[in-house]
Structures are given as structure tokens and as C-alpha cells.
Amino acid sequence: MNDLKNFLSETEYKNLINDIQIIHTKKTLIHSITNYVAINFSANALLSIGASPVMSRAPEEVAQMTSYADALVLNLGTPEEQSLKAMLIAGKAANEKGIPIVYDPVAVGATSFRREFNRKLLNDVRVSIIRGNASEILALCDEHKITTGVDTYDQGEIAVEGAKTLAVKIETIIIISGKTDYIINVKEVRCLNLGDDMMSKVTAMGCATDGIVAAFAAVNQNMFHAACNAMVLCGYAGQMAAAKSQGNGSMMINFLDELYNTTVSIKI
């Protein structure tokens, strides 16, 4: 991980290492109700960093499964009656247990069906971290009638301005993924220029990132620091993987390898 030091302060680097060591030691269990496209890749990404994945989505068992977990991922990617019911049950179980929830509002602005469920979820469940791209975060801001009043910003900048207000309103950390990643809480914004454009050519890269964010949230009580550490690791692994990839197929494999090789070298 020596090259990673170039992107972090000494304190940030030590905090990242500490989180990774705990993930490896605890074999942090992450319960993900994610979309069908993402299940395999997300599970492998979690295994690559030393965490343990479980992907239960049956409403009859998700509350009990969540009670065993260290963090929960809720992903809106392929919504259907059973999975949405399971998300609400699991989310409430996570709140009762006090474990962190990472929510990915995939394409939340695309249909009224998604928007209606999103409203219910955020009304009934307290989420710790929301991660989405700029358009998804803008859609959330529109749901909450948040505007920036500035017309000269690009989409990413507008999303950041809206997310600052949204983070206060719903008391959560917001991650905006893109060419530049932004991590936002009520007091500050962290910008990360890591990663590579090739990451956007791999299906479920964002969904896999959700799981990694959840793993860090499970071991670090400061959700802002947890989100930053996770996004640094994902961006760094993506950058290193792209440098040796011939296309998006090898990129997928190389990303998993980079996650593994970056984290296994410093485990306890």
C-alpha cells in the first residue's frame, strides 16, 4: 500500500489501515439486498477485502439475517415487490440493532414506482450513508425540493450543493460517485480524484462499492471517515486495475485482484 500514501495524510493512512485490519480480523458480515446484476461481483468484492457477504432477500428471513450482520446494503437497482418488502423489513431490523445502512438509490428519478418506494424507505428507515451518481443525488434533492439557486454549475457541482442541504435534512452522509467522488456531511466535503473512466464500463462497479462502503461503516463509528476510507480504497484499486487492463473484462478481474492485494498485505 505504499503508493496509496501519496493520496493521504499520515493520519488518514493510519486510519485506513486500522479499518482494513479490523475488517480482516472480524471478517465483517455484510448483508446486501442488491440487484440481480450485482450479486456475484458485489460478493466477490467483499471477499477481496476480507469481509463476508450474505445476499438474502426473502422477506421471511431478512430480519433475522440482518440481526447477524455488521452492516446492511439496500440497493434499488432491480425493484420488485418481494425485494422492496425485504428492504423495509431489513432496514427496520438494522435500525433496531443499531447497525449502519448504506442505501443506493439506483435510477431513483426514472419512474414513479422507484420514487414512491424511495419516499417510503427514507421515511420509515434511517440510513447512514447514501451513495449514488450525480443524477441520482439530484433526483433525491428534487424529491425533497432542494435547489441550489445557481445555474452556472455543472451537474456534479449542482449535486454537491444540493447534497449539502440534503445531508442536514435527513441526517446522513452522502457520496456522489463520478469522475470526481464527493463525500459530504453536514460540515464538510471531501473530493477524491482517484479511479478511472474504465470503472464505468463494468456492470455493478457502483454496487460493489456499496458493499465496501458498508464494510468500512461496520468497523468505523465515524460514518464520514468510513465513507472516505472506502472510496479511497475503491478509487485506488480502480486506478491500479485500469493501468493493467486491456478492456472492461480484464478490468473486472483486475479490480478484484487489486482490492485483494492492496488489503491482504497489511492484515494482522
With CA atoms as reference, report the closest residue to 75 among 32, 109, 110, 114.
Answer: 32
The answer on whether 177 is annotated among ligand-binding residues is: yes
The answer on whether 205 is annotated among ligand-binding residues is: no
Cβ atoms of residues 258 and 237 within 8 Å:
yes
Alpha carbons 8 and 16: distance in angstroms, whole number: 9
**29: β partners:** 52
DSSP string across 126-184 = --SEEEEEHHHHHHHHHHTT-----SSS-HHHHHHHHHHHHHHHHT-EEEEESSSEEEE
The answer on whether 119 is annotated among ligand-binding residues is: no
In the three-class reduction of DSSP (H, G, I as helix; E, B as strand; rest coil), residue 80 is classed as coil
Cβ atoms of residues 72 and 31 within 8 Å:
yes
Radius of gyration of the chain (CA): 17
Q: How far is CA 149 from CA 152, 153, 158, in A?
A: 9, 10, 9
User: How many beta carbons lie within 10 A of that of residue 110, not counting itself?
Assistant: 13
Q: Which helix (H) or strand (E) covers residue 254, if one does? A: helix 248-264
- ∠ Cα 134 138 139 (to 5°): 120
The answer on whether 55 is annotated among ligand-binding residues is: yes
Q: Which residues are annotated as a binding site?
A: 55, 131, 177, 204
Mark the binding-site residues for ATP, compressed into ranges.
Answer: 131, 177
**Which residue ranges make up the annotated binding site for substrate?**
55, 204
